[in-house]
Amino acid sequence: MANMGWILVVTMVGLALIIAGAQLSSQEDEEDDVGDIGSDEDNRILDVCLQSHSEDLTHHHTNLEISIRGDDRAIPSGTGVTSTCMSGIHTHGDDGTLHIETPGEMEARLEHFFTIWDEPLSETQLMDATVGQGESITMTVDGVLVEDYENHIFANGQQIIIKLE
């Protein structure tokens, strides 16, 4: 009978250690995800599907101009808009005005817009153009060069110019 008592104690201690370890591991995973580029938290805007404009939304505008080898490229009217919803970043006209509308505060990065637009953007590709020898993609925001353009977070009133030259 004494052996049964020890077996029960060892089993209970073992279970307690397993449960504590699982909880610590879960907390570490959650902490690792916060702030990571590409985590669900950072990409929530890709899941936004608005039915209409509402006063309950965060709403601001950014202007985006794109030039490839001196050829200005228009962003089509209705980018990010379907018959059933508007994406968190969308256009209404072809003047380069991006509407960033979300049901709460969330990141709206340049890479998000290109994902919604379904156009490539990387160090070697801008839309249908591949970066050639001696060329590069540059981006300025309000006249200031930005190196990590894909991860640039839009802010209200910004003037963004992307060039491949």
Name the CA dihedral angle for 97, 161, 157, 106, rounded to a multiple of 10 degrees.
80
Residues 123-138 have pLDDT tens digits of 999 999 999 999 999 9
Domain boundaries, the chain: 1-33, 44-164
Classify each residue of 118-139 as buried b or exposed e, where b means 16 or more C-beta atoms within 10 Å of its C-beta: ebebeeeebbebeeeeeeebeb
Residue among 107, 108, 141, 135 nearest 123 (CA): 135
Q: Which CATH fold would you assign to the domain 44-164?
A: Ferric Hydroxamate Uptake Protein; Chain A, domain 1 (2.170.130)
Prediction pTM value = 0.74
Tell me how far CA of residue 12 lies from CA of 6, 9, 70, 141, in angstroms. Answer: 10, 5, 72, 60
pLDDT digits (tens, 9 = 90+) for 30-63: 444 333 444 445 899 999 999 877 767 889 999 9
pLDDT tens-digit readout, 18-37: 554 445 444 444 444 333 44
